[in-house]
Structure 1
Amino acid sequence: MIGAALLLALQPTPVSAEGRWAAFELPSHCEARGRAWRELKDAAEQPRIAFSFRPDGRIEMFANLRRVMREGATVMIAVDGQPFLLAGQGRQAWSQGNEQAIIAALRTGSRLRVTATDRAGRRFTDYYPIDGVQTAIDAAAACAAKKAGNKGA
Structure 2
Amino acid sequence: MLETDNSWLTLLTQNTAPLHFDRHYSAGTHWGRPLVDSTFTLALVTGQSVTDVSQHVMANLGWDRVRLPNPVFEGDTIYSQSEVLGARESKSHPETGIITVRTIGYNQTGVIVITFERTLMVYRRGHGPTFAAVEPVWDERSRKAAGLGE
Please indicate the TM-score interval, normalised by the length of the shorter structure: under 0.3
Q: TM-score, normalised by structure 2?
A: 0.28
Q: TM-score, normalised by structure 1?
A: 0.27
Considering only CA atoms, is the larger Rg found in Structure 1 or Structure 2?
Answer: 2
Of structures 1 and 2, the one with the larger relative CO (CA 8 A, separation 6+) is: 1
Q: Which has the higher strand share?
A: 1
